[in-house]
Chain A
C-alpha cells in the first residue's frame, strides 16, 4: 500500500544511499543534481523511495523529482 513520506524520511534515504552528494549542502529544497548526485545516484535514491513508499515512479516523472521537497510532494500525491 502506498504511504506518504516526510521530508525527514526522504532526507534519511538520501543520506543512506551512499552517493556522491555533499551531505552538508543537503536541504529539502536543494537540487540533488547541483549538490553532486549523478544519474545513477538518482536511480538509487528513487528506488529506495519507491520501496519505502510502496509506489512506482514512472520514467516520465523522474525529471520532475529534483529535490527532497519535490519527492515528498510527488509521493504524497500518489499515496492520496
Chain B
C-alpha cells in the first residue's frame, strides 16, 4: 500500500496578466474570466529553467516532510520540456542539485496533463522494488514554447512545478486507477517547429467524452457512486472544460475545484497544486484525480483517507483499517 505525503510547489516568478494579453489579441475579457478562468499567468524568468522549478518544488516538499531524505529511493520527473536538449534527464540534475543520495533511482517520464496520475503509479511500482520513499516531480513550463500571439494558448498556460512524496506512510492512500491512450488524436496537442499547437475543438471533444466515461468506469469498478466522492480534482485545462466534465457527470460544482486564476493551466502540475491545498481538509475522505491531455492520454485514480468506521472503499484503500497511526504530520505546513 502506498501513501501520498507532503506536496511541495514552485510557481515561476514572472507574471503575465491574461487580461493584458487578451486586450492585445482582441479577446473578450469576460471570455477569459468566465470560460478560461485565468488571470495571472506565472512565467519562468530569463535565466531560469525546468530544473530550477523542479529543484524548488522538491526543496519545498522536503521542508514539509518529517522523514529522512536518506530514505528516498526513487525520483521521477514528469516533463516534456526539459532544459537544453533534454540530455541528461532532468531527474539526474535534480538529484545532484538537491543533494540526494546516489542510491536513488532517478529518471524522467514524458507525459503531459495526465502525467501526475501516471507518475503516482510509476513511483508506486518502483517502490515495490526499492522500498523506502519516492518523489514524483511535475515540471512543464510551457511558456517557453507558447506563441505569444496564439489566442488558443497564450491566455491559458502558466509555469509551475510540484513535488510529491510517496511511501509507506502519509495522508492519502493510492487506490483504484484507470489509464488510457489514443494516439490517433496525437496531432491535437503537439510541438512543431519549437512551438506548441493545440487543436482546441479536438481536445475539447476528447476531454468532454472520454474523461466522464473513464471516471464512470472507475467508480463502477469500485461500486461507488458520484455522491461517495468528496472532491473531484480534474486537470485544470480551463474553467470551461472542468465545468463541462462536471456538468456532463452531474457532479455538484462545489466538489469540483477550479483553480486557474493565479496559475493558469500548469499541465501535469495542476492536480497536485490543488491537492496540496485541500489535502489537509479533515472533511475529505475520498478524492478522485483525473488528468487528460497530450497523447492523447488520460488517467484517473481514487485516493482515500483512513476511515475510522471501516466504510471507506476505493481499490486498495478498502484495506485501510489497521493502518491507523501511520500518518506523518506535515512539518511546517504553510499556505
Contact = CB atoms under 8 A, between A and B. Distances in A.
A39 B200 contact: yes
A80 interface: no
B305 to A, nearest CB: 33
Contacts of B202: 59
Contacts of A51: 209
B204 A38 contact: no
B258 to A, nearest CB: 14
A51 B212 CA distance: 14
Interface in B155-208: 199-202, 204-205, 208
A62 B201 contact: yes
Contacts, number: 27
B204 A43 contact: yes
Contacts of A20: 34
A40 B240 contact: yes
Per DSSP, chain A at the interface is helix
B28 interface: yes
A38 B200 contact: no
A38 B200 CA distance: 13
Interface residues of A, number: 13
B316 interface: no
A34 to B, nearest CB: 14
Nearest to A20: B34
A40 B35 contact: yes
B244 interface: yes
B204 A40 contact: yes
A43 B200 contact: yes
Interface of B: 28, 31, 34-35, 199-202, 204-205, 208-209, 240, 244, 247
26 contacts: A18-B247, A20-B34, A38-B28, A38-B31, A38-B35, A39-B200, A40-B35, A40-B204, A40-B240, A43-B200, A43-B201, A43-B204, A43-B205, A44-B204, A44-B208, A44-B244, A46-B201, A47-B204, A47-B205, A47-B209, A50-B205, A51-B209, A59-B199, A59-B201, A59-B202, A62-B201
